[in-house]
Every structure is written in structure tokens, then in C-alpha cells.
Amino acid sequence: MVSKFSLVMATYGRYEEVDSFLKSIEESKYNLNYVQVIIVDQNEKISLDEIIDKYKAKFNIIHIKSKEKGLSLNRSIGLKQVTGDIVAFPDDDCEYLPETLANVDTYIKEKNCDAVMGRIVKRDGSDSLRTWPKKVIKVNTSNFYTKCSSVTIFLKKDKCRIKFNPKLGAGMYFGACEDADLIYKNIKLKNNIIYNPDIRIYHPHYESGKNMDDEKVYRYGVGFGAFVKSNLDINTAILFIKAEVYHLARALIHLCTFNTKDAKKRFAAFKSRIEGFVKYEE
């Protein structure tokens, strides 16, 4: 039996990238009769109507205009329209490879898992955004964070808790870790989640930290601190300590090499995580 996919995309400020994503769905090897794309459109000045009109006869697209701002909040709006068996959350600047959906469907069925996570790649197939493991790994409370990105997460609707913390994610004060929160809560519910590097998604590459402005570094940091506090236990406490030690050590190394610009960013990352932890309230 063919699984139906519901792909929930919250978008703001992008035009050509949305076109490229929909083009990648059109070129998918999967049966497009079993693909639902839900676009939650936060744009005020950009109109996506012309792009959506190009593809709506080829597969099911639901276009929702939203006056709200915030990634998690708008994904939650999109979730109300989901009719598929497997739910995913593509970024508005990512693309699926032709085999992505077929590989997800096959793997979930073969391994009888509740969710699968993959890796992000550049055009040439090499790792993008971070170094990704190259072997299949069962995701647990100790290893989830380095394998987690919302763009690569596919969840079975009838098995998983698919709900975002509206306080976390881009567009909010606590501007990150809505994906980590989603996965961690499902792990705690004993759902079977597997990381498989053969599940690949294209995303433009940038080096974390180096290409991020100060505001983004800050929002990521407070988001991380908020995530830890929201899910505080021995595992997230250890994760928090490791992250703080890493950023402090990197800051000191940069200082010793007179790289004050990067040192400031690392100190900001260190301090903002504490701030997020202290300020977050349920």
C-alpha cells in the first residue's frame, strides 16, 4: 500500500526557492497522487499565487495565507490540514531529491519505525550545514541532537506526537530548537526513530556560526536554552553543559589567536544559552 505524504511548509520572504521546492516535488519518482503540499504563507509583499498555479494541477497543494508570524505557529496552522500518513516539514529553501519520498516510504515500512531522520546535502551530495553520520543509527535521548533538523524529519501521523512548541523556532524570541523539542518528546514517548543517511534533502550550505549574524547567534542560543529547560532531565542537562563548554573553549581559542570577531560570537552563544534557560517559562 502506498503511503500518502503531507508536506507542511511555512514560508516568509522567499519566491524562487519555493518554486524550486515545488519543482523538486514535480520531479519526484514518487506517485504524486499521494503527495499533499501545505504552504502556510506569511508574506505580505510577495505573492506566491503564480508559482502555485504552475503546479496545482500536478499534485495537491493547499495554500494558506497567514497573518501570524513564527515558524512553529505556522506549521501548527498547516498541521490542521494534514491528511497524509507521513508528515514532514520542508524548509522554504530546501529541495527533495527525486528518490527522497520513495526512500522514506520504503524504509519506514521495512523497518516498521515511527519516524525517520535523514541528512542534508549540497548539490554534489556532500554534507551540508554539518558533518552527518554515514551509518544507520537508532535515535535516543543521548544522541538525538546532532542528527536533528526539522527539514529531514518524517513522522508517521498515527504513531507520533506531532506538535510544535509555539514559543520555539524562527520568528520567536526563543528562535531555535523546535525540531529538537519535537524529536525529544517523541523519544520520551518510546517512539522508534531511526537516522538513515540514505534519506537525503538538499539545502544551501553555510558554516554554522561563521555566516550567522549576531542576532541569529543570539536567537539560536536562547532557543537552545529554552529547549533544555522545557525538557530538563539528566540527558538535556549533559547536552547543555557540553554545549557551554564547547562554546567557551572556542571563544578562548579565538581570543588566544587574536580573532576577536569570532570570540565575541562564541561568548554570545555561551551567554545566550544561559539567558534562554533562565528566561523560559512554560
Contacts of 189 (CB under 8 A, 6+ apart): 160, 161
Question: Would residue 209 count as lying in a domain?
Answer: no
Confidence category of residue 275, pLDDT binned at 50, 70, 90: very high
User: In the structure grid, which three cell numbers stand for residue 206, read together?
Assistant: 553555510
Overall domain count for the chain: 2
| Residue pair 263/255 in contact by the 8 Å Cβ criterion | yes
Give the SS3 label for residue 238: helix
For 80-105, write each residue's pLDDT tens digit.
999 999 999 999 999 999 999 999 99
Among 202, 234, 269, which residue terminates a domain?
202
CB contact at 8 A, 195 and 148: no
Residue 210 pLDDT > 70, yes or no?
no
pLDDT 10s digits, 218-244 = 999 999 999 999 999 999 999 999 999
Residues 141 and 219 in one domain: no
Under DSSP, the state recorded for 4 is: P
What's this model's pTM, rounded to 2 decimal places? 0.93
Residue ending a domain, among 180, 202, 224, is: 202
Read off φ and ψ for residue 270, nearest 5 degrees: -65, -50
> What would the mean pLDDT of 242-248 be, rounded to a whole number?
97
Q: Are residues 196 and 222 in the same domain?
A: no
Helix (H, G, I), strand (E, B) or coil at 174: strand
Q: Yes or no: say if 198 and 99 are a contact pair by the CB < 8 Å rule.
A: no
pLDDT for res 248: 96
Say if residues 6 and 84 touch (Cβ distance below 8 Å). Answer: yes
pLDDT above 90 as % of the chain: 93
User: Over the chain, what is the mean pLDDT?
Assistant: 95
What amino acid is encoded at 129 in this protein? L
Query: 154-193 pLDDT, tens per residue?
Result: 999 999 999 999 999 999 999 999 999 999 999 999 999 9
Domain containing 265 equals: 214-279
Q: Are 194 and 233 found together in one domain? A: no
